[in-house]
């Protein structure tokens, strides 16, 4: 009898399995989890903490908050940040002050670990939620974060 | 005089073939090896005579890289080891550093770390379940597993900012506080997933073909499990109680009650059932903690440059695959002198030859799926 | 219409030439229709698989992806044909044709309607079983000549599998022949005017149908019996080393074979083109749709199997055949014989 | 067992030859028969009885009791640790290759699944050209792969290893990457 009960139990388990997939099949119209990606660009919203790439926000006067302290450069494990800076004389106070010339960010080396943003004392760099980072040439991945002609925001000190 | 076959396969030269045996190169590009693992099989017809893993195809020498990085920077490298339990890897490094600094982190941090750790474990097991089904030929399981894993990944993305390599832990706490939606979403997930595990069981576990494929295949005895240094569900399937969460509790795991999933059969089915059972246990741990996340800081301030006192520090944690050990030797500078990661996958793959010999090719694939191999974890 | 073509051809050709021309014409028409039908079965499979798996499936090329397989076919045709060193070139090139030709040949005997049947021979069922086992030679040749160990293992598995399951397919159909007492497909349909054979033969017929579907799935090397391809074990099995159009032949043959297995089941168990209330007898062209509808339902069932079950191991495959299917099948034949002898069939 | 008891017990396996033979025999007898009696008296004798040239104990800089053993006694010590019913270190959970600068060494982390006590055994050699230790893979099977890993990255050879060849590296690899003096100007980026 074990022979036949084996067969019946076997068939029963097979039918149970088929009922699971069958149920999905019948509800396939609204159950699909596929994201039809390029079509849903408008509705696709990343979470606000999503780590897309590092950017440096500028205000309307083309001013940023980076003092050129290089803490992010030291914190970065992969050397994806390079800061070219200079000491320039502030015409008002007459003191020499560190100023960034270029804040270079290699997106191609970045592992999105977030240590640079943790390290930044003035919140000069933040995460952007940009997720389309593919480019045709690797050189596009090297970015200068501060806009040309931008300068340090007033009142930002280390 | 070398034969033609030996010339083609240089590493097979030291295998002594009998006349009826032949050599098959499984991997590094093969669907069942889950990455770039290469297995040198000696086969007699369909029957496996010898399995020899050839590793190192994605070895990045993380241990050497750690020696030139600061302690904060090490954490993100561990994301890239066992990427399916990246949070727990991060936690292991942070716990080691905190232990060395004798830093007591706030209770809030401990609880959040534990919840996210258990979510990571469920996510990892979901993916394993899907791939497990796919390895034995049931292709649909893959998508069902991913459907549920996706919910966890969304929770991670909202709170930690990334889906896989999260780097949410820093020595001394967490990078940010949890997102306001975290508790709500986690509860939703727990409720959702409770209806899905029975579905997993109905679709695959109970299936007669699956049972026949798994039962009595790849048997690992308890003594061998200990001797081979097996850990995690692989060892617990052989009745060896090795859950680090039980024996050496860390973070908030001493505050919760849960059962260690144990099976004594030691075959592939036992390893499978242990993982299914673990998902239930993880759910119960999350349920115990999610409502009582204590208020407080999400990190304690550390120096910008962390210098560990001279000495040796070892911390083990239970990742989804087993026992991960972090061994840091410090000479008192800002970089570690030597870091060793005792990865669970490395010990688990070493017993593959022991349990797969004598089975068929199909058995090998099924057994390997129950070992739940992540190749970067083996290669580090 | 066929008569008028026949008359027209006869007007300027000899009798023999006419019949040869007609055969060639019919063959061409069948070839064209079923190559396209095979392609659409591929699309169906992909969409159905997607629906089982919480996905949408290909829906980009054409309306709801209807041109997807055309695009795929175009891609396959234009792809480079690669092969391994030291492959047995002659056998390697021959293998796909064995597989595709045997699949297409079997199509010729199906009674799509009362009239639309290319080739109504009196050993129809026998012909079908014979033809469908030629395909395995192609698989064996392909696996053997590829100079690839995975292909070889796949081919050997295929040999073992087809030889075993051929028995069950044959015997389960033989069970039904007891009811019809004819091998000719048109006569088998004729008998079913008193009710489908699965109803006439009730219990043993249902058992025979189940065995037939299991063995038929195994015959076509589809999951859960896809030992031959077993992508998680053997990469792609016997067609690992094939590319481009040669691969497409194997691929197409698999789907046409699936159609054939379902079509045989429709003919033998579910009354081919016969519909309730004799609609298809009064409007014959409806019979095609009736036939295809039933066949597609069975195809769907086979797809349902494929997207639900895990794969068997090669020794379990043989255990299932020799320890379960074959003994049950033999007992079932005796049971059917008793039922026919005692006149216990259900006649509507 | 706590660390003190462990130290006492393991020390007694390597008696100091300068202590009189009679006392050693007494010690060993006591060891095998009854440990609990005359505990205080014995502790002093045991600590003095260790042969410092064979092995030494330390507890500083580490949470575990650490034994530093001479290479020639490594295998016999390990075998004792595994097989002695009082220690039963049956779980070798970590095996680490080390480059101490001058010396090369291996660190073994042991745990007993019965008693749940842990122990670290270290072995060092100054021979950087041809460092050789005894393999422990006949005692713990897991050591087979771990020792191969150490062989890959530190060039430490193991006697009696069944299959000692490169596991991660390719066969033609030169040098031992995890040694401190390894230089690869192309692939290593040093900040």
Same domain, A29 and A64: no
> How close does chain D come to B59, measured CA to CA in Å?
7
Q: Which residues from chain B sit within 8 angstroms of residue C308, using beta carbons?
A: 138, 140, 203
Residue B198 at interface with chain A, using a CB cutoff of 8 Å? no
Residue C95 belongs to what domain range?
A: 83-341
Each residue's pLDDT tens digit, A65-121: 888 888 888 888 888 888 888 877 776 776 777 778 888 888 888 888 888 888 888
pLDDT number for residue B19? 67
Those residues whose C-beta lies under 8 Å from the C-beta of residue B96, and which sit 6 or more positions away, are: B313, B314, B315, B326, B328
Answer yes or no: are the C-beta atoms of A147 and A58 closer than 8 Å: yes
Structure tokens at B350: 């070493």
pLDDT band, residue A45 (cuts 50/70/90): confident
**Contact at CB, B350 and D141, closer than 8 angstroms:** yes
B136 touches chain C (CB under 8 A): yes
Give pLDDT, residue C156.
Answer: 86
CB contact under 8 A, B32 and C233: yes
Helix (H, G, I), strand (E, B) or coil at B331: coil
Nearest CA in chain C to A28: C51
Angle, helices C15-52 vs C68-78, to 10°: value is 110
pLDDT in tens, C52-76: 888 888 888 888 888 888 888 888 8
Q: Residues near B168 by Cβ (< 8 Å), separated by ≥ 6?
A: B87, B90, B116, B159, B160, B161, B174, B175, B176
User: The pTM is what?
Assistant: 0.87
pLDDT tens-digit profile of B19-77?
678 888 887 888 777 778 888 888 888 888 888 888 888 888 888 888 888 888 888 88
Judge whether C52 is closer than 8 Å to chain A, CB to CB: yes
Q: Is residue C347 part of a domain?
A: no
| Rounded-to-integer distance, Cα B159 and Cα B162, Å | 8
> Computed from CA positions of residues B135, B139, B142, B145, in that sequence, does the dihedral angle turn out positive or negative?
negative
pLDDT at position B71: 87
Q: What are the pLDDT digits (tens) for B217-229? A: 888 888 888 888 8
Residue of C nearest to A30 (CA): C54
Show the domain range for A137.
53-152
Mean pLDDT for chain B overall: 85
Q: Do residues C222 and C250 share a domain?
A: yes
Taking CB atoms within 8 Å and a gap of at least 24, the contacts of D161-164 are D161/D135, D161/D137, D162/D137, D164/D135
Average pLDDT, chain A: 83
Q: Which two tokens stand for residue C253?
A: 């043959």
Chain C positions in Cβ-Cβ contact with residue A31 (cut-off 8 Å):
54
One domain for residues A145 and A82: yes
**Helix (H) or strand (E) segment spanning residue D57:** strand D55-58
Residues of D in CB contact (< 8 Å) with B are 60-64, 66, 90-94, 96, 98-99, 107, 109, 113, 116, 120, 140-142, 144-146, 149, 166-171, 177-178, 190-191
Banded model confidence at residue A136, pLDDT cuts 50, 70, 90: very high
pLDDT in tens, D33-63: 444 444 444 444 445 556 666 667 776 777 7
Same domain, C163 and C307: yes
**Highest mean pLDDT pick, A114-118, C121-125, C183-187, C201-205:** A114-118
Task: Specify the pLDDT at position B305.
Answer: 82
Task: Say if strands B322-330 and B311-319 run parallel, antiparallel, or are unpaired.
Answer: antiparallel
B59 contacts on D by Cβ (under 8 Å): 168
The model's pLDDT over D18-32, given as tens digits with 9 standing for 90+, comes to 554 444 444 444 444
CATH of the domain at D138: 3.30.460.80
Residues of A with CB under 8 A from a CB of B: 9-10, 13-14, 16-17, 19-21, 33, 46-47, 49-51, 71, 75, 77, 111-115, 118-119, 127
* A63 and A27 within one domain: no
What would the mean pLDDT of D85-105 be, rounded to a whole number?
Answer: 85
pLDDT at res. D9: 73
Domain ranges of chain B: 4-54, 102-303+350-375
Residue A54 has which token pair? 């590092």
| Residue D27 pLDDT | 46
In CATH, what number is assigned to the domain containing residue A64? 3.30.70.3270
Does B5 score more than 60 pLDDT? no
Same domain for D108 and D39 = no
- How far apart CA B195 and CA B202 sit, in angstroms, is 11
pLDDT at res. B12: 47
- Cβ of A34 within 8 Å of Cβ of C324? The answer is no
Distance from CA of C229 to the nearest CA of B (A): 11
Total domains, chain A: 2
Same domain assignment for residues D32 and D77: no
- A70 and A17, same domain (yes or no): no
Please indicate, yes or no, whether residues C88 and C74 belong to a single structural domain of this protein: no
Contacts of B69 in chain A (CB under 8 A): 77
Q: Are residues C5 and C109 in the same domain?
A: no
Domain shared by C160 and C303, yes or no: yes
The reply to whether A12 and A69 lie within a common domain is: no
A147-150 own/partner pairs: CB under 8 Å, 24+ apart? A147/A58, A147/A62, A147/A64, A149/A62, A150/A58, A150/A62, A150/A63, A150/A64
Looking at the fold, whether A10 and A83 belong to one and the same domain comes out as: no
pLDDT tens column, B305-340: 888 888 888 888 988 888 898 999 888 888 888 898
Contact A107, A141 (CB under 8 A): yes
pLDDT class of B80 with cuts at 50, 70, 90? confident
3-state secondary structure B83-137: HHHHHHHHHHHHHHHHHHHCCCCCHHHHHHHHHHHHHHHHHHHHHHHHHHHHHCC
Sheet of A142-144, strand order: A81-89, A96-106, A142-144
pLDDT tens digit string along C266-305? 888 887 777 766 666 677 677 788 888 888 899 998 888 8
Q: Is the pLDDT of residue C1 over 70?
A: no
Instruction: State which residues form the domain around D14.
Output: 1-51
Q: How many residues does chain D have?
A: 191
Quick one: D79 and D114 in the same domain?
yes
User: Does pLDDT of C125 surpass 60?
Assistant: yes
Among C27-31, C205-209, C329-333, D4-8, the range scoring the smallest mean pLDDT is D4-8
Q: How far apart are CA B243 and CA B198, in angstroms?
A: 24
Q: Are C328 and C207 in contact (CB under 8 A)?
A: yes
Residue C218 lies in a domain: yes
Chain C residues touching B139 at Cβ < 8 A? 49, 53, 223, 307
**Token pair in block for residue D141:** 């099977």
Residue A34: pLDDT band with limits 50, 70, 90: confident
- CATH class of the structural domain B102-303+350-375: mainly alpha
Question: How much is the average pLDDT of B233-238?
Answer: 89
Q: Does some domain include residue A38? A: no
Q: DSSP labels for D81-115?
A: HHH-TTT---EEEEEEEEE-SS-EEEEEEEE-TTT
Residue B255 — φ and ψ, nearest 5°? -90, -10
Q: Is the residue at C63 inside a domain?
A: yes
Domain count for chain C: 2
Say how many domains are in chain D.
2
CA-based nearest residue in chain B for residue C240? B30
CA distance A15 to A22: 10
Hey, which residues does B326 pair with through a beta bridge?
B315, B341
CB-CB contact of B291 with B302 (8 Å): no
Percent of chain B topping pLDDT 70: 95
Does D12 share its domain with D70? no
Q: Does residue D13 sit in the same domain as residue D36?
A: yes
Residues C15, C20, C24, C27: is their CA dihedral positive or negative?
positive
Across C138-156, average pLDDT: 86
Residue C195 lies in a domain: yes
Position A16 in a domain: yes
Mean pLDDT of C47-54: 88
- Tell me what ipTM this predicted complex has: 0.83
As a whole number, the mean pLDDT across chain C is 83
Bond from prior residue into C211 cis (ω within 30 degrees of 0): no
What are the structure tokens assigned to B189, written together? 């997930």
Flag whether pLDDT at D150 surpasses 80.
yes
Which residues from A are below 8 Å from C50, CB to CB? 28, 32, 34
Residues A62 and A29 both lie in one domain: no
Show which of C78, C105, C126 is a domain's final residue.
Answer: C78
> What is the pLDDT at residue C280?
63
> How far from B42 is each of B13, C33, C212, D144, CA to CA, in Å?
12, 47, 37, 20
Residues of A within 8 A of B75 (CB-CB) are: 113
Option in C48, C51, C304 nearest A18 (CB)? C304
């Amino acid at each position: 009898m074990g022979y036949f009960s084996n067969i019946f139990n076997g068939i029963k388990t097979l039918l149970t399995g088929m009922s699971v997939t069958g149920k999905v099949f019948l509800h396939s119209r609204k159950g699909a989890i596929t994201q039809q990606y390029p079509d849903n660009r408008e509705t696709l919203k990343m979470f606000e903490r999503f780590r897309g790439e590092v950017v440096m926000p500028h205000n309307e006067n083309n001013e940023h908050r980076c003092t050129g302290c290089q803490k992010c450069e030291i914190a970065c494990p992969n050397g994806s940040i390079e800061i070219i800076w200079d000491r320039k004389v502030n015409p008002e106070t007459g003191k020499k002050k560190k100023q960034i010339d270029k804040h270079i960010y290699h997106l191609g080396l970045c592992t999105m670990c977030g240590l640079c943003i943790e390290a930044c004392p003035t919140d000069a760099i933040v995460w952007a939620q940009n997720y389309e980072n593919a480019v045709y040439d690797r050189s596009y991945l090297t970015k200068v974060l501060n806009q040309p002609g931008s300068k340090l925001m007033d009142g930002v000190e280390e | 005089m070398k034969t033609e076959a030996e010339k083609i396969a240089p590493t097979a030269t030291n295998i002594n073939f009998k006349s009826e045996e032949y050599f098959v190169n499984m991997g590094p590009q093969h669907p069942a090896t889950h990455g770039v693992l290469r297995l040198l099989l000696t086969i007699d017809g369909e029957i496996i005579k010898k399995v020899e893993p050839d590793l190192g195809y994605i070895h990045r020498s993380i241990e050497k890289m750690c020696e030139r990085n600061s302690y904060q920077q090490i954490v993100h490298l561990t994301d890239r080891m066992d990427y399916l339990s990246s949070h727990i890897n991060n936690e292991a490094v942070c716990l080691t550093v905190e232990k060395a600094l004798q830093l007591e982190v706030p209770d809030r941090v401990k609880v959040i770390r534990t919840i996210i750790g258990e979510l990571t474990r469920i996510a990892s097991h979901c993916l394993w379940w899907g791939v497990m089904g796919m390895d034995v030929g049931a292709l649909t399981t893959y998508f069902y597993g991913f459907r549920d894993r996706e919910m966890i990944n969304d929770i991670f993305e909202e709170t930690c900012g990334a889906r896989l390599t999260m780097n949410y832990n820093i020595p001394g706490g967490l990078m940010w506080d949890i997102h306001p939606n975290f508790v709500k979403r986690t509860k939703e997930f727990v409720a959702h997933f409770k209806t899905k595990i029975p579905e997993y069981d109905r679709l695959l576990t109970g299936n007669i073909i699956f049972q026949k494929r798994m039962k009595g295949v790849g048997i690992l005895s308890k003594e061998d499990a200990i001797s081979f240094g097996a850990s995690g569900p692989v060892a617990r399937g052989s009745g060896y109680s090795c859950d680090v969460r039980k024996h050496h509790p860390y973070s908030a795991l001493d505050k919760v009650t849960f059962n260690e999933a144990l099976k004594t059969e030691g075959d592939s089915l036992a390893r499978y059932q242990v993982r299914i059972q673990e998902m239930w246990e993880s759910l119960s741990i999350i349920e115990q903690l999610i409502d009582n996340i204590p208020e407080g800081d999400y990190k304690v301030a550390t120096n910008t440059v962390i210098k560990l006192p001279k000495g040796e520090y070892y911390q083990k944690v239970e990742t989804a695959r087993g026992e991960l050990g972090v061994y840091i030797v410090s000479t008192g500078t800002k970089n570690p002198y030597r870091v060793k990661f005792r990865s669970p996958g490395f010990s688990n793959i070493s017993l593959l030859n022991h349990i797969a010999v004598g089975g068929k090719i199909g058995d090998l694939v099924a057994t390997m799926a129950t070992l739940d191999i992540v190749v970067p974890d083996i290669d580090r | 219409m066929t008569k008028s073509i026949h008359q027209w051809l006869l007007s300027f050709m000899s009798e023999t030439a006419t019949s040869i021309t007609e055969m060639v014409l019919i063959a061409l028409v069948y070839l064209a229709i079923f190559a396209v039908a095979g392609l659409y079965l591929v699309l169906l499979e992909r969409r159905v698989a997607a629906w089982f798996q919480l996905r949408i499936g290909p829906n980009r090329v054409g309306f709801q992806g209807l041109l997807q397989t055309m695009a795929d076919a175009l891609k396959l045709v234009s792809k480079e044909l690669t092969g391994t060193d030291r492959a047995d070139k002659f056998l390697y090139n021959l293998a796909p044709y064995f597989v595709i030709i045997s699949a297409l040949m079997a199509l010729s005997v199906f009674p799509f309607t009362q009239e639309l049947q290319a080739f109504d021979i009196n050993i129809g069922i026998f012909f079908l079983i014979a033809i469908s086992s030629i395909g395995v030679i192609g698989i064996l040749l392909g696996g053997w000549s590829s100079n690839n160990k995975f292909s070889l293992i796949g081919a050997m598995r295929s040999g073992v599998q087809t030889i075993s399951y051929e028995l069950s397919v044959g015997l389960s159909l033989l069970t039904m022949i007891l009811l019809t007492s004819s091998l000719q497909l048109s006569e088998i349909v004729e008998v079913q005017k008193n009710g489908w054979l699965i109803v006439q033969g009730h219990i043993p017929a249902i058992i025979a149908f189940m065995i037939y579907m299991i063995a038929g799935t195994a015959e076509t090397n589809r999951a859960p019996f896809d030992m031959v391809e077993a992508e998680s074990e053997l990469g792609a099995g016997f067609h690992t080393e094939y590319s481009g159009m040669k691969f497409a032949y194997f691929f197409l043959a698999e789907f046409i074979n699936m159609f054939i297995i379902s079509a045989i089941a429709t003919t033998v168990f579910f009354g081919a083109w016969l519909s309730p209330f004799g609609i298809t007898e009064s409007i014959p062209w409806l019979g095609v749709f009736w036939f295809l509808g039933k066949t597609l339902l069975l195809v769907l069932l086979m797809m349902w199997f494929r997207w639900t079950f895990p794969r068997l191991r090669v020794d379990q495959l043989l255990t299932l055949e020799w320890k379960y299917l074959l003994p049950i099948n033999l007992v079932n034949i005796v049971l059917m014989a008793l039922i026919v002898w005692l006149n216990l069939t259900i006649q509507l | 067992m706590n660390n003190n008891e462990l130290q006492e017990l393991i020390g007694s396996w390597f008696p100091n030859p300068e202590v009189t033979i009679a006392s050693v025999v007494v010690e060993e007898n006591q060891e095998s028969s009854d440990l609990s009696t005359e505990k205080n008296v014995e502790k002093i004798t045991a600590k003095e009885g260790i042969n410092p040239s064979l092995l030494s104990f330390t507890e500083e800089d580490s949470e575990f009791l650490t034994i530093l053993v001479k290479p020639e006694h490594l295998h016999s010590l390990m075998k004792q640790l595994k097989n002695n019913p009082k220690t039963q270190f049956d779980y070798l959970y970590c095996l680490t290759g080390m480059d101490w600068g001058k010396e090369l060494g291996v660190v073994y982390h042991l745990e007993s699944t019965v008693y749940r006590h842990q122990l670290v055994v270290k072995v060092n050699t100054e021979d950087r050209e041809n460092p050789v230790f005894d393999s422990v893979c006949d005692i713990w099977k897991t050591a087979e792969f771990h020792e191969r890993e150490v062989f890959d990255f530190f060039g430490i050879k193991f006697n009696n290893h069944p299959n000692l060849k490169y596991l991660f590296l390719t066969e033609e690899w030169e040098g031992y990457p995890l040694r401190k003096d390894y230089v690869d100007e192309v692939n290593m980026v040093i900040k």
